[in-house]
Copies of this chain bind each other. A is one copy, B any other.
C-alpha cells in the first residue's frame, strides 16, 4: 500500500571515534526511505539544492523509492555537521546550514495524495500540518519532532497532535514535551492529546510502544558489538515501522508489535555504517533474519509452574 514520507534530504558531515564522513547523503526522509523501501515502496517529498549528489540516491530509486516528490531548488542543499562522543551516546551539532530547506514548502504531488501511510519527518510543525491538509484520508499518520519545535512552536505542535495517530519521539523529546521525566507518564500525557499510540525511542536501549489502557510493548536494541554512526537510526526505525504497516495493511495490536520489531531491525542496520551505506548492502533476507533474531533475544518460556496462577 502507498507509503509517503515528508522530511529533510540533507548532506551530513559526521565525526565519530571511528572516522569521519563529509557531505554524505542523509536527512530524515532519506534514512526513512532507505529502510522502508526494503519492505514497501516509498514516495518521498523533500527539497534539495542544485549541489545535491542525486546519483547517490539513484540506487534506492531502483529499490522502490519514488523521488519525483523531491523538489530541486536553486541554492545550497541542507547541511548538518555533528560530532559524537567517544561512546556515541552524545552528539554536538557543529554546524547547521539550512540552504534551500529554509524556504521548504512541501507540495504533495497529485498522485501521492491518496497515500494511506504517512510519515511526517522532523520539520516545522506548521509544514507538517500543511502536508495533512493536502492528503486524503490516510489510514495512519506518524510523526516525529524535536526539542527545537517543542520549545519554539509548542502551540502548533499541540494542534498537530490532534491530527496524527502515532507520535514517534526519543525519550528526551517525550520528557520535554510533557514536562515529565518518567517516560510512561510522558506517554500517557501525549496519548491524552490526540495520538492513539506513542513510540518512545531510547537509542541503544531500544524502544517502547504505549497504547491507551497502559498497554506497553518493549523492543530492545539489537545487540551490536560495533556501532559506527548513530545518525539516522531514529528515522530508519520509523522506516521499518511504517514500511511493515504499509506492506501488511494490518493495524492489529499484534501487528503493531511486529512493526516495532522491524523498526528496531532497521535502526540497528542504520548504525552499522556511515550514512545510508549499510542499507545499500542488504536485502530482504538480511532484514527477515535480523527481525527473527529479536524473538530469541527476548523470548522466555512461561510454561512452568512458576508462572502459573497460584490458584491453578
Q: Is A16 an interface position by the 8 A CB rule? A: no
Q: Is A206 an interface position by the 8 A CB rule? A: yes
Q: Are A307 and B292 in contact (CB under 8 A)?
A: yes
* Count of chain A residues with a beta carbon within 8 Å of a chain B beta carbon: 49
Q: Are A299 and B297 in contact (CB under 8 A)?
A: no
Provide the residues of chain B in CB contact with A87, threshold 8 Å: 181
A295 to chain B, nearest CB (A): 5
Q: Are B304 and A258 in contact (CB under 8 A)?
A: yes
Q: Contact check: which of B86, B227, B297 meets A216 at CB < 8 Å?
A: B297
Q: Is A110 an interface position by the 8 A CB rule? A: no
For residues 280 through 306 of chain A, which have their beta carbon under 8 Å from a beta carbon of chain B? 284-285, 288, 291-292, 294-295, 297-302, 304, 306
A274 to chain B, nearest CB (A): 18
Q: Are B258 and A306 in contact (CB under 8 A)?
A: yes
For residues 212 through 248 of chain A, which have their beta carbon under 8 Å from a beta carbon of chain B? 216-220, 223-227, 244, 247-248
Question: Taking CB as reference atom, which chain B residue is nearest A308?
Answer: B288
Q: Is A182 an interface position by the 8 A CB rule? A: yes
Encoded as 1 (CB less than 8 Å from any B CB) or 0, chain A from 179 to 211 comes to 001101100100000000000001001101000
Question: Taking CB as reference atom, which chain B residue is nearest A283?
Answer: B310
Q: How far is the CA of A83 from the CA of B309 in the complex (A)?
A: 39
Q: Contact check: which of B86, B227, B297, B307 meets A218 at CB < 8 Å?
A: B297
With A206-B205, A208-B223: A295-B288 Cβ-Cβ less than 8 Å: no
Q: Is A257 an interface position by the 8 A CB rule? A: yes
Q: Is A102 an interface position by the 8 A CB rule? A: no
With A205-B202, A308-B288: A254-B301 Cβ-Cβ less than 8 Å: yes
With A218-B220, A218-B297: A244-B306 Cβ-Cβ less than 8 Å: yes
Q: How far is the CA of A257 from the CA of B205 in the complex (A)?
A: 19
A-B interface, 8 closest residue pairs, ranked by CB to CB distance from nearest: A205-B205, A257-B300, A298-B298, A218-B220, A87-B181, A285-B310, A184-B225, A216-B223
